A and B are shown apart, each in its own frame.
Chain A
């Protein structure tokens, strides 16, 4: 009896050891991706075939947990900050790379991406995905903007938008002039809810900071902390005063949020809108066909200083994930592999891969807005403030833009933002 018992115990020991060994070497069959874009028309729907294809090819199921844009940041601050290993891959809005790296939320990825692989991305995307010389977050794609316009409204006023290319741009003054001509025809009393010019991401630093950038202003000091003298200098005061003038004269709107602006344009209530290259697919999905686009305008006298918004979503590996190798494999598939090709095709964003950008520029049949986008990404794109305190920076600056939009004194709003950011950044200056 004792002999049998010893045999059974020995067998169990061997089986247990085998199980442990196989658990160490076997790929997990499931990883979880914490991301944004709820709904069939958003990332949730767009990535479905990509995730299915990945499972088919690798046997690894990627479970996407999709949140709204704003909620994703809160979830990261709650779940990832607590050290949860529930997630393996995180979608990282690129200006948050420095913050998440500093807080230890995301793992370095230098060991997963060779120098040759990193060189396949545009330089600005690699720089934006790195912090203090370490590569943390490869890009999904990048983003650039065009000036989109409603042809039907322009036709009603007999206004034709002249050709505007990155080499020979319209000026903002030209655009305001055309907006006023159209409004005089379609909204003479400025009270029927039709506006002349607005920004798809109104009161968000992503798009709005391009105005002071286009007058030579910077987003933050070289050290990643200084804002005094940087965001309250003449470039900023002049750009914000110009923008506030648009709102006061009824050319630009008040009270319409960034979440609503795209639909507002698609519903025919906005003549010009600064919007991302994804605007074409989003307005067409809403039934708008009569639209046009051109390169972002320049301020008169600042034609050589045009700054355009850029940056998009990158991937990070949850530092607490137990499946980091599998997470890295999926990220590589989504940034350099077939998943990246499928994603760029589905979403219509501007690639952050050099080969894809070159292909767009060389392709005579590529959409014009993508050609403009490819040029802007390489030549005029200004990354958002690179700082570990970007969350604080953007929260305070978004509120500042909204205050200026609502009539607050420009200089005192900027000075107040400087004071708030200085206070908020103090904890990073140890």
Chain B
């Protein structure tokens, strides 16, 4: 009998063993290996890579660009996605068509999207400057201007990503019982009150997922930088991920690349802990209210 109980207790552990093994192999091991590589130069353990990195102006510029980009891009994408989800949540005829249209950019590869947008942003013969000229605005330099390039990349990444995040918010909205909205309407709640007091508190879990996943995706973004700006003009789009790529594949400096990737990992962990705390706290508060 005791053996049966013990066997039964083992079953859950056995069930999660394959998943655990895969996580260890494909997540934990690469992370540990990356961390170790950052201390490994020429067959010996050293702190030199980290010491050089922390005194490297290029690294700190890339660090700041990464923070600046994400401080703007993450809120923009989350807010735009939420607003789009509210729009396509309406029960109207043909609304499915709009949902598809908004989701469509996500189905295009980021590489293709970047090429298309870089053609539109082309300072010499891009369509955006033609449209600006049509309304009397002088031509802009977009991706070759150090003050505009980073924000052009925000546009590219948001155009591509918002439809995707919108779908998660939409799924959350669909789970809210319509009777809650009806009672709020009877109580005289307006649109903004309904959104802020009912909708947002009730999709906290979805919001948390979107925030964490969006942060991870955006902090690691580098395709537009690699394909179009190469970190320029004047380092204005040189994010940490691109710097890590250059270190590994252009400079053959795996230790520096691993150190930068470790920094990126730490940024993501810190931001996600902050987001968890923030939303967890508010969720508790919301529940009490």
Residues in chain A within 8 A of chain B (CB atoms):
73-74, 77-78, 81, 99, 103, 191, 193, 253-256, 389, 391-392, 395, 398-399, 402-403, 405-406, 408, 413, 419-420, 423-424, 426-427
Q: Which residues from A are CB-within-8-Å of B144?
A: 254-255, 405-406
Knowing A406-B141, A406-B146, say if A399 contacts B251 (CB, 8 Å). no
Number of interface residues, chain B, beta carbon within 8 A: 27
Specify which of B145, B146, B233, B249 is in contact with A77 (CB 8 Å cutoff). B249
Knowing A254-B123, A254-B144, A423-B56, say if A403 contacts B250 (CB, 8 Å). no
Nearest-Cβ distance from residue A124 to partner chain B, whole angstroms: 26
Knowing A77-B248, A193-B125, A255-B124, say if A402 contacts B52 (CB, 8 Å). no
Once the chains bind, are B123 and A103 in contact (CB under 8 Å)? no
Determine if B57 is an interface residue (Cβ-Cβ < 8 Å).
yes
A394: nearest residue on chain B (CB-CB)? Answer: B250
Residues in chain B within 8 A of chain A (CB atoms):
52, 56-58, 122-125, 139, 141, 143-146, 230-235, 246, 248-253
Once the chains bind, are A255 and B252 in contact (CB under 8 Å)? no
Specify which of A398, A402, A427 is in contact with B233 (CB 8 Å cutoff). A402
Q: Which residues from B are CB-within-8-Å of A73?
A: 249-250
Nearest-Cβ distance from residue A185 to partner chain B, whole angstroms: 19
Specify which of A193, A403, A405, A423 is in contact with B58 (CB 8 Å cutoff). A423
Knowing A253-B124, A255-B143, A256-B124, say if A403 contacts B234 (CB, 8 Å). yes
Roughly how many angstroms separate A73 CA and B251 CA in the complex, as a whole number? 10
Roughly how many angstroms separate A402 CA and B141 CA in the complex, as a whole number? 14
Once the chains bind, are A402 and B232 in contact (CB under 8 Å)? yes
Can you pick out 5 interface pairs between chain A and chain B where the beta carbons lie within 8 Å of each other? A77-B248, A255-B143, A392-B251, A395-B251, A403-B233
Roughly how many angstroms separate A427 CA and B253 CA in the complex, as a whole number? 9
Roughly how many angstroms separate A392 CA and B253 CA in the complex, as a whole number? 10
Roughly how many angstroms separate A129 CA and B252 CA in the complex, as a whole number? 20
B58: nearest residue on chain A (CB-CB)? Answer: A420
Once the chains bind, are A78 and B249 in contact (CB under 8 Å)? yes
Knowing A402-B232, A403-B232, A406-B145, say if A255 contacts B122 (CB, 8 Å). yes
Nearest-Cβ distance from residue B130 to partner chain A, whole angstroms: 11
Once the chains bind, are A392 and B250 in contact (CB under 8 Å)? yes
Knowing A253-B124, A255-B123, A255-B143, say if A391 contacts B252 (CB, 8 Å). yes
Given contact pairs A403-B234, A423-B52, enumerate 15 new A-B contacts (beta carbons under 8 Å). A78-B249, A193-B125, A253-B124, A254-B144, A255-B123, A255-B141, A255-B144, A256-B124, A392-B250, A395-B251, A402-B232, A403-B232, A405-B144, A408-B146, A424-B251
Roughly how many angstroms separate A284 CA and B110 CA in the complex, as a whole number? 34
Q: Which residues from A are CB-within-8-Å of B139?
A: 191
Q: Which residues from A are CB-within-8-Å of B230?
A: 398-399, 402
Once the chains bind, are A77 and B252 in contact (CB under 8 Å)? yes
Q: Which residues from A are CB-within-8-Å of B253?
A: 427
Q: Name the 9 nearest CB pairs between A and B, nearest first.
A: A255-B123, A406-B233, A406-B144, A74-B249, A77-B249, A403-B234, A395-B250, A392-B251, A255-B144
Roughly how many angstroms separate A403 CA and B232 CA in the complex, as a whole number? 7
B253: nearest residue on chain A (CB-CB)? Answer: A427
Once the chains bind, are A426 and B52 in contact (CB under 8 Å)? yes
Q: Which residues from A are CB-within-8-Å of B235?
A: 399
Nearest-Cβ distance from residue B114 to partner chain A, whole angstroms: 13
Knowing A406-B141, A406-B146, say if A395 contacts B232 (CB, 8 Å). no
Nearest-Cβ distance from residue A244 to partner chain B, whole angstroms: 13
Q: Which residues from A are CB-within-8-Å of B248?
A: 77
Once the chains bind, are A81 and B252 in contact (CB under 8 Å)? yes
Knowing A254-B124, A254-B141, say if A391 contacts B250 (CB, 8 Å). yes
A405: nearest residue on chain B (CB-CB)? Answer: B144
Which residue, of A193, A419, A427, has the highest number of chain B Cβ atoms within 10 A?
A: A427
Nearest-Cβ distance from residue B188 to partner chain A, whole angstroms: 56
Once the chains bind, are A399 and B231 in contact (CB under 8 Å)? yes
Q: Which residues from B are CB-within-8-Å of A392?
A: 250-251
Nearest-Cβ distance from residue B159 to partner chain A, whole angstroms: 20
Roughly how many angstroms separate A408 CA and B234 CA in the complex, as a whole number? 7
Q: Which residues from B are CB-within-8-Å of A395?
A: 246, 250-251
Q: Which residues from A are CB-within-8-Å of B232?
A: 399, 402-403, 406
Q: Which residues from A are CB-within-8-Å of B123?
A: 254-255
Roughly how many angstroms separate A73 CA and B125 CA in the complex, as a whole number? 31
Q: Which residues from B are CB-within-8-Å of A253?
A: 124
Roughly how many angstroms separate A408 CA and B159 CA in the complex, as a whole number? 29
Q: Which residues from B are CB-within-8-Å of A413?
A: 234
Nearest-Cβ distance from residue A65 to partner chain B, whole angstroms: 17
Roughly how many angstroms separate A423 CA and B246 CA in the complex, as a whole number? 14
Q: Which residues from B are CB-within-8-Å of A191?
A: 139
Nearest-Cβ distance from residue A82 to partner chain B, whole angstroms: 10
Q: Which residues from B are CB-within-8-Å of A74?
A: 249
Once the chains bind, are B233 and A408 in contact (CB under 8 Å)? yes
Roughly how many angstroms separate A426 CA and B246 CA in the complex, as a whole number? 16
Q: Which residues from B are CB-within-8-Å of A389?
A: 251
Roughly how many angstroms separate A420 CA and B235 CA in the complex, as a whole number? 12
Which residue, of B57, B230, B234, has the highest number of chain A Cβ atoms within 10 A?
A: B234
Nearest-Cβ distance from residue B236 to partner chain A, whole angstroms: 9
Roughly how many angstroms separate A118 CA and B56 CA in the complex, as a whole number? 43
Nearest-Cβ distance from residue B215 to partner chain A, whole angstroms: 27
B49: nearest residue on chain A (CB-CB)? Answer: A427
Roughly how many angstroms separate A256 CA and B234 CA in the complex, as a whole number? 17
B248: nearest residue on chain A (CB-CB)? Answer: A77
Q: Which residues from B are CB-within-8-Å of A419?
A: 57
Q: Which residues from B are CB-within-8-Å of A427?
A: 253
Roughly how many angstroms separate A424 CA and B146 CA in the complex, as a whole number? 23
